Amino acid sequence: MHHTIFDTPVVNTLLRAVSRATLRIAGWRVEGRLPPDAAKSVLIAAPHTSNWDLPYTLMLAFSLRLRVYWMGKQSLFRAPFGGVMRWLGGIPVNREHASNLVARSAQAMRDAVGPMQLIVPPEGTRGKTRHWKTGFYFIAQQAQVPIVMAFVDYGRKVGGLGPVFQPTGDVERDLAAIKAFYAPIQGKNPAQFEV
């Protein structure tokens, strides 16, 4: 994977302090921690209902000392901000031609040296959708890493990491269990999130 801001010790340390202070001033709490056995993991990014989700997610990642990469629509990576988005851990996804994205992502996780958390929004969009895409599940399964239920709850002003989930192979049952965790969590635009 490419070099990111999370690999830059001085900047990372500075942004961790700024992130923690900003969240505290804004009245947000950070919950959870990443267990050592989840150093390589797929983080669910739900609910995803606003552009504000990215800055909050990055501040939470700095606060929790994570080394994240995140998937975003390809248009976020156009000039002049493409380089910055990649430095922030972004991976452009062409939604119309996402061929082999799961296999490539799983391989990148297997090949990664050291910790790596891949953030995947299962809704695939900020707009309202009734169905979650299952790419996050199959990336974790193929890479043989756990799924961590990450969240940004605007209703309670709490963000962080929830339970660690090991895919069993029973996709329907596993998704039902995962969605049950997210049911009470409120996105910035709650009408757009439905599990």
Strands (E), 35-184: 40-46, 68-73, 90-93, 116-120, 147-153, 158-165
Q: Answer whether residue 98 shows pLDDT above 70.
A: no
Average pLDDT over residues 156-178: 96
Helix (H) or strand (E) run with residue 31 in it: strand 29-31
CATH number for region 5-188: 3.40.1130.10
Q: Where in the chain are the domains? A: 5-188
Q: Which residue has the higher pLDDT, 87 or 97?
A: 87
Q: Which residue has the higher pLDDT, 31 or 128?
A: 31
Burial class (CB in 10 A: 0-12, 13-18, 19+), 114: exposed
CA angle 26, 158, 93 (to 5 degrees): 95
Q: Answer whether residue 150 shows pLDDT above 60.
A: yes
Per-residue pLDDT at 163: 97
Per-residue pLDDT at 100: 87
Please give the model's pTM, rounded to 2 decimal places. Answer: 0.90
Q: Which residue has the higher pLDDT, 71 or 55?
A: 55
Measured between alpha carbons, how far is 90 from 73 in angstroms, rounded to an integer? 9
> Which is it for strands 158-165 and 147-153: parallel, antiparallel or unpaired?
antiparallel
Q: Answer whether residue 95 shows pLDDT above 90.
A: no
Average pLDDT over residues 64-87: 92
Q: Answer whether residue 128 shows pLDDT above 60.
A: no
Average pLDDT over residues 57-83: 93
pLDDT class for 52, splitting at 50, 70, 90? very high
Measured between alpha carbons, how far is 59 from 73 in angstroms, rounded to an integer? 20
